[in-house]
């Protein structure tokens, strides 16, 4: 099938590359010329395991193209994915101006032939009908321009074009760091829409994935496909992320109680996770959740509830717990080192999670800000940030090139991101390089006994 993906961030680029990999003809459109030039050369502008390899293979087979030409993309695609960003506004609601601009642009360029316009961006509930309205506005604008220019008789083409598209909501459930894997091995595919024709085309698009042709385990049964109305599909995305964020806040709350009563939250999490009603995922206590999805989506759902006269108290509490949890590592540093002014603290990891270069709303940024405020010197080592030289506006921190340089002269280390590489560092040597060999394990990732044998004073979260 012919596909156009508009927007090449984490969601758009992964979606486009993976659809090309399974055999569809894809054009990815972005208005950033430098980014498009980079992607044409086979380089990914984001770090995502396996993505560059899939992109390069699809370029070689001619299954994927990159362009700044929206008109060409719209003309090419039977299915048009809107995958631009919807960042949070200060109020907590989603900024939908990029979605609006794309929808209007699609309307300006529709030229006959049935199209399915797919909301892949995480958009406020009710956006499916809103996008349809904006596309129609774009069609009307073009019609008005043509009439004014004398190129077409009034009302001659608008009815013909206006009803040859449908809007579908197809929320993504990709995890940064494993987005390619998640695309080929999804738990479910959600399709929201009011047109059976549009839903049928989307099912055809995803058939190779539904049938596990590219799955890690091809013997599994077909991927469940849930067809809903537009609003329910949009709500599913928000509800899923809000639930996972709340689950993390819950186990962090339990961890803080464990700290006070002498229980070990890792054992508690294992015990409750064996209950099939609860499950063991997202029960890792630590210094809180961050990234581009959980904070934005939970805030957007809270704001939507407020708009409709309901106070989402549980979700607000999950956010409050998370904000407090980010300061837990700071409290533990103060308990061990007392005064932090004049001390040197090293952060193991900067990104909000491993296997990504994403620093959006990363807990490390809060730690850096607070440590600087208290007069500490802050150093950091991150396998991606240190290697690529990415800074993303980071200030107040010296980024080291390896873990031993980080440890040299530090009064304490804080493990912020559970990169796999951090499980095999030479901690015994790092301890000898430190002024005070203290480590705050902000993810409960390391083995306490191993760290003690290496010469560290080990402090976990809720352990």
Long-range contacts from 220-225, C-beta under 8 angstroms, 24+ separation: 223/186, 223/187, 223/188, 223/189, 224/187, 224/188, 224/189, 225/188, 225/189, 225/191
CA distances from residue 225 to 3, 161, 204, 206, 207 in whole angstroms, order as listed: 20, 30, 11, 10, 10
Residue by residue, DSSP assigns 310-327 as: ---HHHHHHHHHHHHHTT
d(CA 68, CA 38): 12
293 in catalytic set: yes
- Find residue 88's DSSP bridge partners: 94
d(CA 329, CA 368): 11
SS3 breakdown of the chain: % helix, strand, coil, rounded to 5? 45, 15, 40
d(CA 351, CA 388): 13
221 — phi, psi (to 5°)? -65, 165
d(CA 340, CA 334): 7
Nearest Cα to Cα of residue 230 among 129, 97, 81, 79: 129
Encode 398-447 in three state secondary structure.
EECCCHHHHHCCCCEEEECCCCHHHHCCCHHHHHHHCCCCEEEECCCCCC
Point out the catalytic residue in the list 4, 28, 293, 410.
293
d(CA 190, CA 173): 10
Q: Residue 115 half-sphere exposure, CB side, CA atoms within 13 Å?
A: 29
**Strand intervals (E) in 146-260:** 165-169, 189-192, 225-228
CB-CB contact of 431 with 346 (8 Å)? no
Residue by residue, DSSP assigns 195-212 as: -HHHHHHHHHHTHHHHTT
- Sign of the torsion angle spanned by Cα atoms 214, 215, 216, 221: negative
| Positions marked active-site | 293
């Amino acid at each position: 099938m012919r596909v156009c993906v508009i927007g090449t961030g984490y969601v758009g680029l992964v979606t486009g590359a993976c659809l090309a990999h399974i055999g569809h003809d894809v054009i990815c459109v972005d208005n950033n010329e430098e980014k498009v030039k980079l992607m044409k050369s086979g380089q990914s502008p984001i770090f995502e395991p396996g993505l560059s390899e899939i992109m390069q293979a699809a370029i070689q087979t001619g299954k994927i193209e990159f362009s700044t030409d929206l008109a060409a993309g719209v003309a090419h695609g039977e299915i048009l994915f809107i995958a631009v960003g919807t960042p949070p506004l200060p109020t907590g609601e989603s900024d939908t101006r990029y979605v609006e601009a794309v929808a209007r642009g699609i309307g300006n360029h529709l030229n006959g032939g049935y199209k399915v316009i797919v909301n892949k961006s995480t958009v406020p509930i009710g956006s499916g009908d809103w996008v349809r309205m904006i596309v129609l506005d774009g069609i009307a604008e073009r019609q008005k321009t043509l009439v004014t220019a004398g190129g077409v008789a009034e009302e001659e083409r608008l009815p013909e074009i206006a009803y040859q598209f449908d809007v579908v909501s197809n929320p993504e459930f990709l995890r940064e760091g494993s987005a390619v894997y998640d695309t080929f091995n999804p738990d479910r595919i959600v399709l929201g829409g009011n047109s059976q024709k549009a839903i049928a085309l989307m099912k055809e698009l995803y058939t190779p994935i539904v049938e596990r042709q590219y799955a890690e385990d091809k013997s599994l049964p077909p991927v469940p496909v849930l067809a809903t109305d537009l609003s329910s599909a949009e709500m599913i995305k928000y509800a899923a992320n809000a639930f996972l964020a709340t689950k993390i806040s819950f186990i962090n709350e339990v961890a803080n109680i464990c700290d006070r009563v002498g229980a070990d939250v890792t054992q508690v999490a294992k015990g409750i996770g064996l209950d099939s009603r609860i499950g063991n995922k997202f029960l890792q206590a630590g210094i809180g959740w961050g990234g581009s999805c959980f904070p934005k989506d939970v805030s957007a759902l809270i704001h939507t509830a407020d708009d409709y006269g309901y106070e989402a108290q549980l979700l607000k509490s999950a956010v409050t717990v998370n904000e407090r949890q980010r300061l837990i590592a700071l409290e533990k540093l103060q308990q061990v080192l007392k005064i932090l002014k004049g001390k040197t603290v090293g952060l193991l990891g900067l990104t909000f999670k491993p296997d990504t270069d994403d620093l959006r709303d990363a807990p490390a940024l809060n730690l850096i800000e607070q440590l600087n405020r208290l007069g500490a010197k802050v150093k950091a080592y991150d396998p991606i940030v240190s290697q690529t030289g990415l800074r993303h506006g980071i200030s107040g921190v010296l980024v080291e090139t390896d873990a031993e340089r980080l440890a040299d002269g530090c009064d304490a280390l804080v493990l912020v991101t559970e990169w796999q590489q951090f499980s095999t560092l030479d901690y015994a040597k790092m301890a000898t390089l430190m002024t005070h060999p203290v480590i705050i394990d902000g993810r409960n990732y390391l083995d306490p006994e191993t760290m003690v044998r290496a010469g560290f004073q080990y402090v976990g979260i809720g352990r």
